[in-house]
Amino acid sequence: DIVMTQSPDSLAVSLGERASINCKSSQSVLNTSNNKNHLAWYQQKPGQPPKLFIFWASTRESGVPDRFSGSGSGTDFTLTISSLQAEDVAVYYCQQYYSIPQTFGHGTKVEIK
């Protein structure tokens, strides 16, 4: 199985400041046949299912604010919130869909400082 390791476990950021979450996979999730990283980011708020925010490592899902961006390739990825808003308080998960079983990071909790 590909192990997904997220850091930090939690972070508190002031409103309007930048938040960055890291995700490292135990092996590359870059598909060289299509040059795409099979890496997604999800946001989950309490009592709700996860919501797809980023896929192919850097493509924003429709409706996701452009303050969210994804970057990285191979084994190292980052989700960045350029200017944290109150509604961004949530747990964020990375997921690899490169190989079976698909695996998730353990989650990063984002809070307001």
Partner 1 sequence: QVQLQESGPGLVKPSGTLSLTCAVSGGSISSSNWWSWVRQPPGKGLEWIGEIYHGGSTNYAPSFKSRVTISVDKSKNQVSLTLRSVTAADTAVYYCARAPSGPIDSWGQGTLVTVSS
In 10 A of CB 22, how many CB atoms? 16
Least Cβ distance, residue 78 to partner 1 (angstroms): 17
Give me the residues that bind partner 1 (CB under 8 A), please: 1, 38, 40, 42, 48-52, 55-56, 61, 93, 95, 97, 100-107
Residue 48's contacts (CB-CB under 8 Å, 6 or more residues apart) are none
Least Cβ distance, residue 69 to partner 1 (angstroms): 16
C-beta of 14 vs 59, nearer to partner 1: 59
